[in-house]
Structure 1
Amino acid sequence: MKKALLAFVFLAQAATFSIAKESAEETKQDVARHRAMAAAHEAAAKCRESGKGEDVCNKELQAACKGLAIGKFCGMKHEH
């Protein structure tokens, strides 16, 4: 039992230390991705305000977010 507990503690510490802080460049890239996603969502909102249909605006959103976020709704989906 003591060996198992010791192994667990060691594993937990190793996992904690293996999670490296992101570099300043990685943070900069992350911020840029968030801003790009926000801009794409703002454009989608304006698209809907203009009277265009949801399907049209979703396609524009998907095109704007290609490679930025996970999923077809640019990392966000809300209830309709």
Structure 2
Amino acid sequence: MSVDAEIEEIRRTITEIHRTLYKIDAHLDGAIENVDRELSLFDQSLRNVAGEANRIRTGVAQIVSMVGVECANCCRFDNSDNLI
């Protein structure tokens, strides 16, 4: 094979590599945007769950405090916390 033919073959190979890398780059750009969008949705869902857990915790604490007050007014316990 002549030097010119080898140079032309190398040029074609480099061109193919460039095209392939360009395609990979285009796919990665789209993938990064998709991952970012999904992570944003996931973060929002976690914030919603945390907010709901806080509301439930507050509600349970209020109920427990009310039950404790009502129970103290009507029930008596011995030293081992057994109902008398």
TM-score bucket of the superposed structures, by smaller chain: 0.3 to 0.5
Q: Flag the structure with larger Rg.
A: 2
Going by fraction, where is helix more abundant, 1 or 2? 2
Normalised by the length of structure 1, the TM-score is 0.36
Normalised by the length of structure 2, the TM-score is 0.34
Question: Which structure ranks higher in relative contact order (CA pairs < 8 Å, sequence separation ≥ 6)?
Answer: 1
